[in-house]
Amino acid sequence: MSFKIVLLAPDVDESWPQKIRQAVPGAAAKAFRDPNDALVDIEDADAAYGTVPPELFARAKKLRWICAARAGLGGDWFYDALVKSDVVVTNMRGSYNEHLSAHAVAFLLAFARRFEHYLPQKQWKRGPEMIDLPTQTVLIVGVGGAGSEAATLCAALGMKVLGADPRVTNPPTGVAELFTPDRLGERIGEADFVIVTTPETPETRGMFDSRLFSKMKRGSYFINISRGGCVVTEDLIAALRSGQLAGAGLDVVAPEPLPPDSPLWTMPNVLITPHVAISGAPYRQKWEEILLENCRRFANNEPLLNVVDKEKWY
């Protein structure tokens, strides 16, 4: 079956329209740097790549599939008309699991080796002892792609790994115990380190608040590489100030960019990177592979890869 797809993302590879036509003979593919230029073409398009704004979506009469140009979408990406429609949404999850997991474990190792203390002091002076990781427990919230990779790395360091996930039913490699998020409050106190890799969903938005931080082991560490919206920033700051948390490693925050006057910038026990965990990942090639494979599947009426639950945003 031939179909028409409009490519709306500003960073679309110039070779993709031709590659789509090669992968699906008879397919029509056209790229637009500005979605406003696609007002006419969207009307009879069967599929779209990128973000389809509400005003463009309203003009689409035949649209059946949107391939989002990223992995984590979040609530701001969805709107009522899209959620209530029959249009299938897919994403690019799984494109940078290795980089996300490595970033999370880099934070963990930095705290275990006391880098937050020793690197800034710029003098030959001994301070706190190192943390013996084989005696430590790490809880990974979200053991899908990146979380599963992080579990493998932490287990290789000798740590006991706990996992919480609403969908994964079989413990990934390295995970000693797996449970559902509804048990997070009763189990989180067992962890010396908590790594958050879960996507932002209606259930996880603001999940880490004063209530959950109070249930964590006093003196534990908090690491977030998922979405800043999963954390109530003011409550995180309070937990750090009170000593409930010994430190935090943050690649994502709310809001982004983090304001210059945020207390997080001046806290010596906080390590911050500006949402760069996927930097360096060869994700463009993986995105192309996922897009082309889903184009083939769409043309053949086969199940698509990475289908998103629109009501849960992932």
pLDDT digits (tens, 9 = 90+) for 63-117: 999 999 999 898 989 999 999 999 999 999 999 999 999 999 999 999 999 999 9
Mean pLDDT of the chain: 97
Catalytically active residues are 227, 256, 275
What's the average model confidence in pLDDT over 163-190?
Answer: 97
Count Cα atoms within 13 angstroms, Cβ side, for 106.
14
Structural domains present in the chain:
4-94+281-299 (3.40.50.720), 97-272 (3.40.50.720)
Say what the pLDDT of residue 191 is: 99
Does residue 128 register a pLDDT over 80?
yes
Question: Which of helix, strand or coil describes residue 29?
Answer: strand
Q: How far apart are CA 61 and CA 79, in angstroms?
A: 17
**pLDDT band, very low/low/confident/very high, at 9 (cuts 50, 70, 90):** confident
267-281 pLDDT tens trace: 999 999 999 999 998
Does residue 1 register a pLDDT over 80?
no
188 DSSP assignment: G
- The residue to which tokens 């930097």 are assigned: 279
223-252 pLDDT tens trace: 999 999 999 999 999 999 999 999 999 999
Q: How many H helices and E strands in the chain?
A: 10, 12
Q: How far apart are CA 216 and CA 245, in angstroms?
A: 8
**H-only helix segments in the chain:** 16-23, 54-57, 80-84, 97-112, 115-121, 145-156, 184-187, 210-215, 233-242, 283-299
Say what the pLDDT of residue 138 is: 99
Nearest to residue 30, comparing CAs of 12, 53, 56? 12
Say what the pLDDT of residue 42 is: 98
Cβ neighbour number for residue 305 with a 10 Å cutoff: 17
| Residue 88 β-bridge partners | 65
34-54 pLDDT tens trace: 989 999 999 999 999 999 999
In degrees, rounded to 5, the angle at the alpha carbon of residue 278 between the alpha carbons of residues 201 and 226 is 25
Say what the pLDDT of residue 281 is: 87
Say what the pLDDT of residue 136 is: 98
46-77 pLDDT tens trace: 999 999 999 999 999 999 999 999 998 989 89
